[in-house]
Amino acid sequence: MAHISYKTEAIVLGHIARGEANNVFILLTPDLGLLYAHGQGVRLEKSKLRFSLQDFSIIDAMLVHGKTGWRITNASPKVSCYYEMNKESLSLTARIFSLIKKLVVGEEQNTELYTLCSSNIFGLLDKKISNEERARIEIVWVLKALSILGYVDMQNMQNIENMTFDQVRLNTDIDSIKKDALSQINRAIESSHLYF
């Protein structure tokens, strides 16, 4: 039986070490959703994939689905956030991706969530973002992600839902709704019945 190859852009949300040289990568893709893909021998010095699969990177990946699940056969980096973001933006990205890994269940197309994450990654590469701007980005990113996943109703926050990354970053009005936004986020996380 022939295996079908899929070429897709993906965000590496994280990885799990397996054995001495293998990793299982947690990938968010626009068409296949969140999936776990095996990378054979990727921790070996001679591995060609070793530097392409850094956590929090956007990659072009070639995937094969077989009897044992997904396998990465090739990958090339588009954006390597691990090296291009400053420490604070990297920390923010890690927190958001940790939340997404816990809330997204199964392989299901979610182009909207993928677009939200990839556009914020590109925005956070700017090293001149202040801590106040980063705080606004984090609140709106989490709210939008929870809305996409069906945990939060943003109808009364229509103006935020349609804001671009730069509008969020520079809009000081977001600071005034921070308390209400955090309350909604906490309620949504509690209703998920997941332990954080």
CATH assignment of the domain containing 73:
2.40.50.140
62 and 24 both lie in a single domain: yes
Q: Which amino acid is at 70?
A: W
Check whether residue 90 and residue 154 sit in a common domain.
Answer: yes
For residues 69 and 16, state if they share a domain.
Answer: yes
Q: Which residues, 6 or more positions from 90, have their beta carbon under 8 angstroms from its beta carbon?
A: 56, 81, 82
Domain match, 187 and 114 both: yes
DSSP H or E run through 90:
helix 87-103
d(CA 137, CA 131): 10
- Please check whether residue 116 is in contact with residue 46, taking contact to mean a CB–CB distance below 8 angstroms: no
The Cβ of residue 58 has, within 10 Å, a number of other Cβ atoms equal to: 19
Residues 10, 68: one domain?
A: yes
Decide if 61 is inside a domain. yes
Looking at the structure, do residues 137 and 118 belong to the same domain, yes or no? Answer: yes
Q: Is residue 42 part of a domain?
A: yes
Residue 130 domain-assigned (yes or no): yes
- How many domains does the structure of the chain reveal? 2
Domain end marker among 81, 105, 125? 81
What is the residue range of 52's domain?
4-81
pTM attached to this predicted model: 0.90
- Strand, helix or coil at 171? coil
Among candidate residues 54, 81, 108, the one where a domain is terminated: 81
Tens place of pLDDT per residue across the chain (196 aa): 567 889 999 999 999 999 889 999 999 999 999 999 999 988 888 888 888 899 999 999 999 998 889 999 999 999 888 788 999 999 999 999 999 999 998 788 899 999 999 999 999 998 899 999 999 999 999 999 999 998 888 776 767 878 888 889 888 888 888 888 888 888 888 887 765 5
> Does 150 lie in the same domain as 168?
yes
Structure tokens at 40: 């054979």
Report yes or no on 196 lying in a domain. Answer: no
User: Alpha helix (H) ranges present in 104-177?
Assistant: 111-124, 131-148, 158-161, 165-170
Q: Which amino acid, 164? A: T
